Amino acid sequence: MERKITDIALRCSNCGSEKGQMKKGFNRSGTQRCICKACGVTYTANPKQREYSEETRKLAIRMYYSGRSGRCVGRDLHMSKANVYNWIKQAR
């Protein structure tokens, strides 16, 4: 069961205060932005992870070394081909 923003006690990432937290729209990835009345800092309440899992990286590398191009691997896994090429360079 996923917890909603209203279920979580908002805490400022700067001063740690739980009182005076207000919602302030959403960022580009769709997560809730908040502002602290005490210190004035704007922060993301529950940020999304923006990296691929280790299993996905290993799968992309295996697919590349099995004879598929980086472009095909990227298209099949719905990611940029640059990610695939960067992971291959790191794996060497």
For the full predicted model, state whether its pTM sits above 0.85: no
42-85 pLDDT tens trace: 998 887 777 888 999 999 999 999 999 999 999 999 999 999 99
| The pLDDT of residue 10 | 81
User: According to the model, what pLDDT value does residue 8 have?
Assistant: 59
Nearest one of 13, 2, 8, 1 to 41, comparing CA atoms: 13
Q: Which residue has the tokens 């980086």?
A: 70
Is residue 5 over pLDDT 60? Answer: no
Q: 84 vs 41, 48, 49, 65, 87, CA distance in Å?
A: 36, 21, 18, 11, 5
